[in-house]
Chains A and B, each alone.
Chain A
Amino acid sequence: MTTVRHPWLHTAAGILVIAVLLFPIYWMVNASLQPNGATVDTSWLPLAPDLSGYRTALADQGAHLVTSMVVALGSVVLSLAIAVPAAYALAQFRLRWAGLVLFGILISQMIPGIVIANALYGAYADLGLLNSIPGLILADSTAGIPFAILICRAFMQSLPPAVVEAALVDGAGPVRAFVSVVLPISRNAVITAALFTFLFTWSDFLFALTLTTTEDVRPVTLGIYTYLGAYVNDWSAVMATAVLASVPAIVLLVIAQKYVAAGATGGAVK
């Protein structure tokens, strides 16, 4: 099923699919190399690259990139720590309240972000959590935690019950069974959840906008937003920042993807 007859033909088709999908991103890179304002008659290739967008971006956004990375990784850790055990409990324990909790999680996904952001602002102002990394990590996890619970639970439901039972019969407590049996088996689901939690946080703009008021803690999405003024839009800097910001994240994604593949081929479940 997974081996194919004409591998390179598949590669060619795969490249075509990705090329079409990523064309807007190519265009973004292209625009980032144009002089600012030349957004109308952009040429197909950046034959005369203008690096002023990158100069602006590098000078302004370096620290914001670090902030984004710290917040995103922090949010991944927090989300997984809270969500994975919960997902396991919801998938495998027979709990009276499980349905209610799941229902709550589902509802939580329906709440427009702006509603949460506005409520949190008031709370954060009272608690001194504005302009703080922990504050942003907590808020950004609102996307990651329910999502990770739902995803991990969907995967964990298909765990063969025999695996866990065997561990329990062997005398392991539920906590140890979880750590040493369930977690390794569910690596795929956990990494997928981690990946998306990272992406949710990395691309968060709303919480960055509402919960930070100074430049002390400023994620890169908000840094980009400040290039859009009431009177002047610095598009080449916006695009250059977007390109720069995606480089570290791409590296992370490629690494994570490798683990997803490895988890699958490892055949732990089978």
Chain B
Amino acid sequence: MGHRCASTTREGPPPAAPWYDRPVSRRAVTTAGLVAPLAALLAGCGSTGATGPRTLRVLDTYTNDPDRTIIGGALAAAAAEVGVTLERVSVAGDSLIQRVLQQGSSGTLPDILMLDNPDLQQIASTTALRPFDALGIPTDGYTDGVTAAGTYEGRVYGLAPTVNTVALFYDVPALEAAGIEPPTTWSALREAAAALTRGDRYGIAFCGNATYEGTWQYLPFFWSNGADERDIASPEAAGALDLLAGLVRQGHASTSVLNWSQADVKDQFVAGRAAMMVNGPWQIPELSGVEGLEYDVVTLPTRDPATQAAVAPLGGEVWTVPATGDRAKERLAAQVLTRFLADDSILSMAEQRFTVPGRHALTDAFLERRPEMAAFADLLGDARARTAQLGPDWPATATALYTAVQLALSGQVSAADALREAGEYA
């Protein structure tokens, strides 16, 4: 695939802090004893070496274009201003945490690290990250959601330049043909889904699979209805879950939603097998490229818009500075991130990636360039971070939530029982 950003050069083979710089764990000693003969055998075959003082290592998950190039460009521009070289590695999203843990245990953390926002507090709680105030990275002006996602025990450890969430995409001609308006209430959503279901087309598609994606798509209904992740077995939570379960039960959404990822949901929508879908703005570039597809996006409906505001879950990646022990490089990394998180840099990434700026002040400028993102920008003003309440304990509850979604959607138990049963796993 070649180098990700044209302006970076690699100074010699990959990183490894000099041995005397790294904490020597008991494990490392044992290992060395066990494997030393092997090493002698292979001496010279392996690649070792350290990066130069002005080369920073970056780890993220943007493996595919266009994101890979867009983020690469923003990083390269920031690095050029600071006068450092970046050595960027992008790994597949699923494997990031594993990679970070491995690097943490072997003392080879990168100088700049991207994390999915719900993971930040977990990682910050291990002392693996440096707080932004100690590094002088500005943290003001971000939306509450972004700040909450990046904060652990009162200090900011990471910030997201741009953020996203989910909303309701709909097939314009299909709704026109059925003579209905985009739904704004749950009952209108149910009716629309019923009216739009015909032949091999379902009224709606969403993701209810057994991963955090399933949790993520349930959350906007869960929160908008007043449910709280600290007590998931509530009538509000059950009401929201029953909305989704009812759509499947009535046959207005496929039972396959139990297995579909968000990408699968998009494929169904593109193929004309769903008239509406719950999905995020990252699908827009691909949807726009589909010939003959005329779609629009609105905020997800709430049960009672008169008393309930739509609450969107905050999505997006935060950028952090790991505690590598090399103070000079940490300072350089902070300078790069400061530049990376500057207004023009954020705006440019937001525009190109169809994501919304993480800072309030940039919303207007952004909407001038991307008016079609209005529904998302509106939602993201007060989007809620998944870890805002539970912090590092979020993964257990997230697991319980998708378990509940699966139990209820498969029709095994009622929504209320599903949440109660799943709560035992948390």
B35 x A127 contact (CB < 8 A): yes
The interface residues of chain A lying within 8 Å CB-to-CB of B42 are: 127, 129, 134-135
A230 x B47 contact (CB < 8 A): no
The interface residues of chain A lying within 8 Å CB-to-CB of B67 are: 229, 231-232
Q: How far is the CB of B269 from chain A (nearest CB, A)?
A: 9
B271 x A229 contact (CB < 8 A): no
Q: How far is the CB of A211 from chain B (nearest CB, A)?
A: 10
In whole angstroms, what is the CA distance A40 to B256 when docked? Answer: 12
Tell me if A210 counts as interface (CB < 8 A to partner B): yes
> Which residue of A40, A126, A135, A213 contacts B273 across the interface (Cβ within 8 Å)?
A40
> Which residue of B2, B45, B116, B280 contacts A132 across the interface (Cβ within 8 Å)?
B45
B34 x A230 contact (CB < 8 A): no
In whole angstroms, what is the CA distance A125 to B27 when docked? Answer: 12
A229 x B61 contact (CB < 8 A): yes
Tell me if A50 counts as interface (CB < 8 A to partner B): no
A130-B14, A232-B282 known; A216+B47 contact, CB < 8 A = yes
Stretch of A98-106, A116-124, A160-168, A244-252 with 4 or more beta carbons under 8 angstroms from chain B? A116-124
Please encode chain A, from 213 to 232, with 1 for each CB lying within 8 Å of some chain B CB and 0 for all others: 11110000001011111111
Tell me if B69 counts as interface (CB < 8 A to partner A): no
Closest residue on chain B to residue A233 by CB atoms: B263
Tell me if A75 counts as interface (CB < 8 A to partner B): no
A41-B271, A214-B89 known; A134+B45 contact, CB < 8 A = yes
A41-B271, A122-B27, A122-B106 known; A229+B64 contact, CB < 8 A = yes
Q: How far is the CB of A16 from chain B (nearest CB, A)?
A: 30
Closest residue on chain A to residue B102 by CB atoms: A121
B1 x A226 contact (CB < 8 A): yes
**Which residues of B266-310 have CB atoms within 8 Å of chain A's CB atoms?**
266-268, 270-273, 280, 282-283, 286, 290
A123 x B31 contact (CB < 8 A): yes
The interface residues of chain B lying within 8 Å CB-to-CB of A135 are: 42, 45-46
**Which residues of B19-61 have CB atoms within 8 Å of chain A's CB atoms?**
19, 27-28, 31-32, 34-35, 38-39, 42, 45-48, 61
Tell me if B218 counts as interface (CB < 8 A to partner A): no
In whole angstroms, what is the CA distance A248 to B48 when docked? Answer: 32
A39-B267, A121-B102 known; A216+B39 contact, CB < 8 A = no
Tell me if A131 counts as interface (CB < 8 A to partner B): yes
Q: Determine the interface band of chain A, counting residues with CB < 8 A from chain B.
A: 35 or more
Closest residue on chain A to residue B35 by CB atoms: A123
Most B CB contacts (10 A, CB to CB) among A127, A138, A226 go to: A127
Tell me if B16 counts as interface (CB < 8 A to partner A): yes
The interface residues of chain B lying within 8 Å CB-to-CB of A266 are: none
Summed over the interface, the residue pairs from A and B with CB atoms below 8 Å come to a total of: 132
Please encode chain B, from 246 to 277, with 1 for each CB lying within 8 Å of some chain A CB and 0 for all others: 00000000000000010100111011110000
A40 x B268 contact (CB < 8 A): yes
Question: How many residues of B are in contact with the other chain, CB < 8 A?
Answer: 55
Closest residue on chain A to residue B263 by CB atoms: A233
**Which residues of B89-103 have CB atoms within 8 Å of chain A's CB atoms?**
89-95, 98-99, 102-103
A41-B271, A123-B35 known; A227+B99 contact, CB < 8 A = no
B95 x A229 contact (CB < 8 A): no
> Which residue of A37, A127, A209, A229 contacts B39 across the interface (Cβ within 8 Å)?
A127
B47 x A131 contact (CB < 8 A): yes
The interface residues of chain A lying within 8 Å CB-to-CB of B352 are: none
> Which residue of A38, A128, A213 contacts B46 across the interface (Cβ within 8 Å)?
A128
> Which residue of A37, A118, A231 contacts B102 across the interface (Cβ within 8 Å)?
A118
Q: How far is the CB of B32 from chain A (nearest CB, A)?
A: 6
B28 x A126 contact (CB < 8 A): yes
A122-B105, A232-B286 known; A226+B63 contact, CB < 8 A = yes
Closest residue on chain B to residue A60 by CB atoms: B1
In whole angstroms, what is the CA distance A132 to B62 when docked? Answer: 24
The interface residues of chain A lying within 8 Å CB-to-CB of B105 are: 121-122
B16 x A128 contact (CB < 8 A): yes
The interface residues of chain B lying within 8 Å CB-to-CB of A231 are: 64, 67, 263, 280, 282-283
In whole angstroms, what is the CA distance A127 to B106 when docked? Answer: 11
B14 x A213 contact (CB < 8 A): yes
A123 x B62 contact (CB < 8 A): no
In whole angstroms, what is the CA distance A118 to B27 when docked? Answer: 12
B267 x A37 contact (CB < 8 A): yes
A229 x B63 contact (CB < 8 A): yes
A216 x B63 contact (CB < 8 A): no
> Which residue of B14, B32, B94 contacts A126 across the interface (Cβ within 8 Å)?
B32
A131 x B116 contact (CB < 8 A): no
Interface CB pairs A-B, < 8 A, 15: A40-B271, A122-B106, A123-B34, A126-B106, A132-B45, A132-B46, A138-B38, A209-B95, A210-B102, A225-B95, A226-B1, A228-B63, A229-B64, A231-B280, A234-B64
Closest CB pairs A-B (n = 9): A128-B48, A125-B106, A40-B271, A230-B93, A128-B46, A231-B282, A229-B64, A226-B63, A123-B31
Given A126-B19, A214-B14, A231-B64, 7 further pairs, Cβ under 8 A: A40-B270, A121-B105, A123-B35, A128-B39, A129-B39, A133-B45, A214-B89
Q: Which residues of A approach B to under 8 Å, CB–CB?
A: 37-41, 60, 118, 121-123, 125-135, 138, 209-210, 213-216, 223, 225-234
